[in-house]
Each structure stands twice: as C-alpha cells, then as structure tokens.
A and B are shown apart, each in its own frame.
Chain A
Amino acid sequence: MVMKKARRKTTAILVLVLAAMFIAAAMAGCGSSPAPASVASTGAAAEQAASAAPATTQPPIVSDKPIEITMMINDNPTYPWNPDWLILNEIKKRTNVTINATAVPAMNYTDKFNLIMNTGNIPDLLVPSGDWYVYALNGKVLPVSDYMSQLPNMTAEMNKLNCAQEYQNTQLIDNKNYTLPVFTESQIYTCGLVVRKDIMTKLNLQDPKNFDDLYNVLVKMKEYDPKSYPMTGFYGCDMLFWFLGRSFNSFSIGGWSSLGEVTYDLTQEKYVSAMTSPTFQTILIYLNKLYKDGLLDPELFTQDVDQWTQKITTGKSFVAYDWTDQNSDINTAGKNTDPAFDFENVMDPIGPGVENNMYVNTNITSRFIMPSSVAEKPYFNELLKFADWLFYSDEGTTLSNWGVEGTTFQKDSNGKLAWAPNYTSSKEYQQKYGIGYHESLTGVIRTDYLKAILPAQLQPLQQQWDKLNWVPTMPTPKLTSDETDQVKLYQAPLQDYFNKAVMSFIMGKTDPTADWDSYVKGAQDKGIDKLVDIYNAALARQGKGK
C-alpha cells in the first residue's frame, strides 16, 4: 500500500515531534542528582584524593576518604541553596565531606518533614519541625545523648555558654536528648519599639521611659495628626503580647508562647495561668485605653507586613514594635513622603510596677536531628565527627559565620575578625557565599559575627542591651503521650475563647475591669486550671516543681 505524500509528511512530522519530546524528557530526567552513596571511593580514588591535596595541608579533620552526607533544610528564598557556594567547597576541602542538601520551601517544610519521616529514606542531618518528638519517642531519631563522648566540641561550647541546664531541659520524657542544638552566644538587639524620631523631635518628645510616657507620646502624636492612628502593628495580638510581655514581666502569652495560655512564674517556680493573670489584665486595660482614645490602629489585628509597611511609610502611623532589619528599606521609602523621615528603634519602655523589663536569654535557638538509621551507616563515626567540627569547633563556626580568611574576612592586629574590603551586606554574603546561613550550616551563632553586622545606629542600643538582666527560658514540661493528648484537648477551645475574649476586651465590647471575673470563670469552665495542673504535675515529676 503506497502512502500518500501528505500522509507521509504528517507521519514524519509526528515522528520528529515525538522524538524531540522524548529526548527532552529523557534529558530532563537524567538529573544531576548524585546517588546517595555511602563511602563513595575505592582504594584508588582515595589515594587520588589524598595525593591531590597539596603537601602542606594538615591531615583531613574528619575523614581521609571522600564522603557524602545528605541534609534537609529550610530553603530561604532570599538566599536559595546553591551547591557551588564557597562554604561548601571549603568544607569539602578541609574535611573531605560533600553535603548534598534538599532545600525545602519553608512554608511546606513541616509537610515534607512528616512525609520523609514516615516513609523512610531520611537524610543524615535534618532540621526538625512540627511534632517531631513523636518520631523520637517512637525510635526514629538518633538519641544524641548516647553519643556525647563523640561530640567533645559540643560539650565544650555548652559549658562555655553555661547552658547545659537549658540543653537538659530539652530532653524528652524518656530522659534522652535527641537534638544537636544550635547555640546563640549572646543576645543582640534585634527587635523592640520603633518610633518616628523626626516627629518626636518636632513635637519635643523624649523616648518613652515607661508606659505612661508612651501614652502621652501617642496622645501628642494624635493631636498632631488627628487622622492618624499613632500606634500600629502586624501579626495581630500575638506579636503585641510577645513584646509587651517583656515589659510587663511575663513570659509571652498567646500564639507565640510554646505553652499558649499558660506561663511560668519565676518566683513561685511553677506554672500559672497567663490568660487569667492580673498582669494580663493590666495589659488588656492598657491596650483598651489606647484603643478607646483612637491611638491604636484597629487594623492591627488583621493586617499583614505589606499593609503595615505602607502605613508607616506614608505617615499614617508613627510607632510600632518591629525587628531592625526592615528599617533601612522603610526609611528609604519613607523619604519619598517626607524628607525628614526617620524610623528608628528605641529601648522598650519599662512596664508598670516593675523596676526592669524581663528579657529572656535563650541560648538554644534551633536544632538538628539525625535519624536512628544513620547509626548503621559505614560513615556514622565520620558523620558525628563532622557535625561536631562544623557546628561547634572554633574553626567550623568561624567558617560558617565568617567564611574564609582572606576572601571574606580578615584578622586585624589584635586577632579580632573583621569583614574583607569587598563586604557589602550580610544578605549579599549569604547569597553569594553561603556564609552566615543560619538555617542550615551553623551550630553556633557567634557574637562577634552578630556585632559585626549590626548597623551603626543600633550600637548605642546594643550597649544598653548588654547591661540588662536576663532571665532563663521557661522550662518545658515533659509530657507523656496521654498528657499530650489531654493538653491538646484543652488547648484548642481555650485558644478560641482566648482569641475572642482578647479582641472583645481591647475593642471595648467588654470591659477589662468590670467583666474580668466572668471571663476568668469562662476560662476555668473550659479547663485552664486543669491544664495548669497537668503541666505542674509533669514539672514535679522531674523534681523541679513545688
């Protein structure tokens, strides 16, 4: 049967298109993902690696054979993971270890984490998320406390920072510790009250020393611009309560507290209800006063960062709580509206009836875990040695915070570290070199690094910050699985009740003074006292409570 010419042509085109698609698909499929091999080399390759190293370097710190380890971390969109980073090459050079990392978009990290933990094939090092302790109690996570002898640098760092107690607090109910902690050496001023300094100067106002001062400042600002709402915020009440807690001497209450509506009383040394405490009532009365007098932005409770930024830069609001790293962007944008625009951080006002604000010193700010399957791998000892070196040794932390001497930093005559001449900003260094990437490659966030990236205008604040009295973190109660279930049962309705009641108090629908008792009764009906008792019982079990 002779094919007609047209049909032959269509067939030919079809075949070509098919072939092209298949080739494209195959090429995309042949990805560059290296196979997660264990010890990758044979004797010949090892000799090659050893002989390739120049004769003057010292023996490799971790391993004399090339090893590849897998990691899973949060991918920060500002500096996405780049396998060609200087820090990764340097790590490979010094330790013979290649890191093969899965960078997961941060928003979905918990989903992927749960999926990976449930289906096996867990990477060697990963950042835990969500209810990871459940996997630990089921034996899926390596108990680090069993291997402390192989982590000398970590022990040394813990003793140096005096946070062995804090690390012990992170033990789970089986009295084992499953995490490789990420330490922050000391607290740097990162967030607090931010005001429009230019408006303050114009109205002859001083930085508010306490909350009455703050009230007067806001009133004067409202007189200056009656259409404005002088104080605003974002992320709703939770963020406000976190900041105000520092001044009112209470551990945070609400969504940003690890215990929700319960807090820890430092004098009584036990857990108490935060949502029904007198301190919280004082906070609500104050916020209600601000709201009634039109000083607090009603949209504070629902707006997001972008809307908040717009309000600040267009001069609709003048005071807020915020972190420091947005200030330079806001100031540049604000100068378009008003050439004198100056949005700067100041020290927090001191709370009513207290001498000093309460700032919590957290030394352990993040953590890594390893799956228990890693103990079977042939490079397990090298893996522990590597983690110990990179995260906690002096050389490792210098590499992950500062980078490579001569390229990214240099030493001055006193041996103090300073940035190299080509330094522009910490963000650019992170993006370009991968150093200062605290989400994944750092075990100690060093003070000298944080001070070196601190902008000049924050130095005076930092000096005041260094003189403050710091309190230790709230102890975490270690709950059995039954108790965890019970806690979850109480927490959800209490949270709803709390959220609704708070909004209604601040907006004046209910009176924080007159209607307080019925609110407390409502909370007790929902089981706040029982929740507190569960926590205190767990505390007593650990031998700490009264």
Chain B
Amino acid sequence: MLNYKSKGYGIFQALNVVFMYGVMIACLGPFIYILAISFSSPEAAMAGKVFMLPVGFTLDAYIAMMNYPLFIRSFLNSVIYTSAGTFISLFMTVICAYPLSKKSLFGRKYLMNMVIFSMFFAGGLIPNYIVVSSLGFTNTLWAIVIPGAINQFYLIIVISFMQGIPKDIEDAAAIDGMNPIQTMLRIVLPLSKPVLAAIGLFVAVGLWNDWFYSLIYLNSNTKFPMMLFLMNIIQGANANITKTVSSGSQHIGIVGISAKTTTIILVSLPIILVYPFLQKYFVKGIMIGSIKG
C-alpha cells in the first residue's frame, strides 16, 4: 500500500514549491522592476537607483505619456482592430467549420485537403501584399482584419468540436422543421460557446499583439495600433544613431528610460486586467478539439 506522506514525497513537495517560487520570481522580477522605474522620478531612473520600489514617486511619466501625441489614438485603434477582427474571425470560422464538420458534405475531402495544404504552403510576403493592396485595403482596418480572419489551425479545432456534438440533437431539430442555418444558429452555436470563447481569445490576443501587418499595410501614423506605437518609442530612436554620426544634426532623440517603461506598462495593462478572468478558457480551450471520453 502506498504511503503518500512518505518523507521522500515531502521533500519532493518542498523542492517543487521552492522551484516554482523561483520561476515565479524570475517572471515577475523584471516586470516589477519596470513598474518601479515607471513610477520613479526621471533623475533617479537615470541614475540607476531604482531597484524594486519606486524612488521619488511621481506620476509625471504617465501623465506625459497620456498626453503624448497619438497615444490615446493608438490605444483606440488597437481596441477597434481587436474587437472587429475577433468578431469577423469568429463569424467566418463558424460558417466555414459547420459545413466542413458534416461528413456528408460533397467534396469535403478536397476542401479539407485545401485547408491543410494552405497551412504549410503560403504565398509569401510580397504576393500577399500585392493581393491586399490590389483589393484596395492598404491603410484601412480591413488589411489587418481580413487576410488572417480564418486561421486553419483554429478552424480544425472548431470542426473537431462540432463533430463531437451528437448528431441526434440535429436530427431532432430537423424533425422540428429547422433548416441548416437555423440549426447552426440555434443549436450548434450555443453548444459551441466554450470552443468559440477559447478561439476568440487566441485570435484577440493575436490581434492585440500584432505589429507586423500594421507596419506593412498602414501608412498614416494615426492608424497605428498600440504595439507599433510602443515599438517606435522603444527602438525607433536608436536606429538613427549611425545616420547622425556624420551629419551636423544633433537630433538623435534618444527617448528617456521613463518614457520607455511607462509605455511598456500602459500597453500590457489591458491584457493583464483581462487575463485572470479568461484564464480558465485558455487552459480548457486548447484541448477542446480533442476526443471526448
């Protein structure tokens, strides 16, 4: 008979806890450091006096950043791109997944092969750009939201989940006189809420973090999302250094460390606030397309 409270097990427990605490501190440490700098006075930050607690507590950096040109604008842009993109993506994924989940669909095998093939082989950056710009999407919201609307991997997850819904329910609905669209909207969709929540979350986080597509498709800086804005703040200035080496211009414009850390905190804040509530969906969601017992 196993004795769960053996000494070896206790030691293992202890070591495990210590190790996990170590990992937690390693993850949290840099973040707390940045948080402390952002609340410190610029002189203390520059002098490197800040460790884990703010020195010379001040909100000046935050106030300055909120008043920074285009900051609020880029935040709103991110919110709009994320919400519109998530909605469009979920909508497109569902209407694609439902028919593909029916084994009786004519040509299903070929359609599924196309989906899987396109997972591995893509056109590349320049053909993509040419397609999107010839549709007239450059410098608009649609360039960010539409090309990546259906992610094949998520599509397959939703298909698997929908296949797991018992066929009898849909048969009963058919007997009651529902057509396929009504079945989808009233029976399948409510039952798929868990997988849609999970997929929606992945898509939303992906859109929130996106900077590459915004960089190549957007032209006016009033349309940049927050991530691009953040990148510009943190890295943009340093790239100019070799240019100004030989020029008479003094305008290197190295941004102060306070501005950088404040921007980091402000950009991470929305995700941090939302994450604890949605965490369980993340954890459940990725396994949701797998076989049920």
Q: Tell me the A residues contacting B by CB distance below 8 Å.
A: 1, 7, 18, 21, 24-25, 28-29, 31-33, 74-82, 102-109, 111-112, 115, 118-121, 184-188, 190-191, 235, 242, 256, 305-307, 309-311, 313-314, 323-326, 329-330, 332-337, 360, 362, 365-366, 426-427, 430-431, 436, 438-439, 445, 447, 450, 453
Contacts and interface: CB of A to CB of B under 8 A. Distances in A.
B69 A365 contact: no
B215 A24 contact: no
A336 B43 contact: yes
A187 B69 CA distance: 32
Interface of B: 42-44, 46-49, 69-70, 77, 80-81, 83-84, 87-88, 125-126, 129-130, 133, 138-142, 145, 177, 186, 215-216, 219-223, 228, 231-233, 235-257
Nearest to A447: B248
B231 A184 contact: no
B248 A190 contact: yes
B246 A365 contact: yes
Contacts of A337: 47
A323 B77 contact: no
Given A75-B221, A256-B245, A107 B236 contact: yes
Interface of B is mostly: helix
B239 A119 contact: no
A431 B205 CA distance: 33
Nearest to B86: A21
B238 A119 contact: no
Given A76-B253, A323-B252, A445-B248, A115 B216 contact: yes
Contacts of A29: 140-142
B255 A78 contact: yes
B247 A81 contact: no
B42 A187 contact: no
Nearest to B251: A438
Given A77-B253, A105-B232, A107-B232, A235 B129 contact: no
* Chain B CB within 10 A, most for which of A1, A108, A111: A108
B45 to A, nearest CB: 8
Contacts of A112: 215-216
Closest 4 pairs (CB-CB, A-B): A310-B48, A365-B247, A25-B84, A78-B253
A79 B48 CA distance: 27
Contacts of A118: 126
Contacts of B231: 105, 107-108
B249 A33 contact: no
Given A24-B83, A336-B44, A336-B47, 10 more contacts: A25-B80, A28-B81, A80-B221, A103-B220, A105-B231, A106-B237, A107-B231, A115-B126, A119-B126, A120-B130
B197 to A, nearest CB: 15
Contacts of B223: 31, 33
A235 B239 CA distance: 12
A162 to B, nearest CB: 16
Nearest to B84: A25
Contacts of B256: 329
Nearest to B257: A306
A441 to B, nearest CB: 13
23 contacts: A28-B77, A29-B142, A31-B139, A31-B141, A32-B222, A33-B139, A33-B140, A77-B253, A80-B70, A105-B235, A115-B125, A119-B130, A184-B248, A186-B248, A235-B241, A314-B48, A323-B250, A330-B46, A333-B47, A336-B43, A365-B243, A365-B246, A445-B247
A25 B49 CA distance: 46
